[in-house]
Amino acid sequence: MNERLECITCGTRFPVDQVRYTCECGGLLNFERDTPRVGREVFDRRRATARAPIDQSGVWRFREALIDVDPAVVVTHPEGSTRLYERNGIWFKHEGENPTGSFKDRGMTVAVTQAVRLGATAVACASTGNTSASLAAYAAQAGLRAIVFVPSGKISAGKLAQTLAYGALCLQIRGDFDAAMRLVREACDRSGIYLLNSINPFRIEGQKTIVWELLQDLDWNPPDWIVLPAGNLGNTSAFGKALREALAAGWIDHLPRIAAIQASGANPFFRSFTGGFAIRHRVTAETVASAIRIGDPVSYDKAVAAIRVTNGIVEQVSDEELMSAKREIDRMGIGCEPASATTLAGLKKLRASGVMHRSERIVCVLTGNLMKDPDAVMRNADAAQIVEIDATIEAVERALQS
Ligand X SMILES: *Cc1c(COP(=O)(O)O)cnc(C)c1O
Decide: residue 382, CB within 10 A, 0-12 exposed, 13-18 middle, 19+ buried.
Answer: exposed
Q: Which does 7 bind (CB under 5 to 8 A by kind): Zn ion, ligand X, none?
A: Zn ion
Least separation, in Å, of the C-beta of 240 and ligand X?
Answer: 12
**Bridge partner residues of 93 (DSSP):** 84, 365
Largest CA distance in the chain: 77
Least separation, in Å, of the C-beta of 279 and ligand X?
Answer: 20
**Bridge partner residues of 321 (DSSP):** none
8 or 122: CB nearest Zn ion: 8
Binding site for Zn ion (CB under 5 A): 7, 9-10, 12, 23, 25, 27
Least separation, in Å, of the C-beta of 233 and ligand X?
Answer: 5
Residue 325 neighbours by CB under 8 Å, 6+ apart: 317, 341, 342, 343, 344, 345, 348
The whole-angstrom separation of Cα 249 and Cα 178 is 36
Q: Which does 23 bind (CB under 5 to 8 A by kind): Zn ion, ligand X, none?
A: Zn ion
Decide: residue 360, CB within 10 A, 0-12 exposed, 13-18 middle, 19+ buried.
Answer: middle
The whole-angstrom separation of Cα 211 and Cα 222 is 10
6 or 217: CB nearest Zn ion: 6
Residue 92 neighbours by CB under 8 Å, 6+ apart: 84, 85, 86, 329, 334, 363, 364, 365, 366
Q: Which does 368 bind (CB under 5 to 8 A by kind): Zn ion, ligand X, none?
A: ligand X
Nearest to 235 by CA among 270, 259, 264, 271: 259
CB 263 within 8 A of CB 317: yes
Binding site for ligand X (CB under 6 A): 102, 104, 130, 198, 229-236, 291-292, 337, 339-340, 367-368
Angle 182-186-188 (CA atoms, 0-180°, nearest 5)?
120
12 or 81: CB nearest Zn ion: 12
Q: Which does 234 bind (CB under 5 to 8 A by kind): ligand X, Zn ion, none?
A: ligand X
57 or 367: CB nearest ligand X: 367
26 or 374: CB nearest Zn ion: 26
Least separation, in Å, of the C-beta of 127 and ligand X?
Answer: 8
Least separation, in Å, of the C-beta of 240 and Zn ion?
Answer: 19
The whole-angstrom separation of Cα 107 and Cα 111 is 6
76 or 236: CB nearest ligand X: 236
Q: Which does 229 bind (CB under 5 to 8 A by kind): Zn ion, ligand X, none?
A: ligand X
Least separation, in Å, of the C-beta of 78 and ligand X?
Answer: 19
Residue whose CB is nearest to ligand X in the complex, by number? 368
DSSP secondary structure of 212-234:
HHHHHHTTT---SEEEEE-SSSH
C-alpha distances (whole Å) from 282 to each of 97, 199, 210, 232, 390 are: 32, 17, 28, 12, 54
Q: Which does 25 bind (CB under 5 to 8 A by kind): Zn ion, ligand X, none?
A: Zn ion
Least separation, in Å, of the C-beta of 107 and Zn ion?
Answer: 23
113 or 130: CB nearest ligand X: 130
Rounded to 10 degrees, the C-alpha dihedral 74/77/79/82 comes to 150
Q: Which does 78 bind (CB under 5 to 8 A by kind): Zn ion, ligand X, none?
A: none
11 or 89: CB nearest Zn ion: 11
Q: Which does 235 bind (CB under 5 to 8 A by kind): Zn ion, ligand X, none?
A: ligand X
Least separation, in Å, of the C-beta of 158 and ligand X?
Answer: 12
At residue 333, what is the residue type?
Answer: G
Least separation, in Å, of the C-beta of 335 and ligand X?
Answer: 12
Find how far residue 169's CA is from the centre of its chain. Answer: 23
27 or 53: CB nearest Zn ion: 27
Q: Which does 242 bind (CB under 5 to 8 A by kind): ligand X, Zn ion, none?
A: none
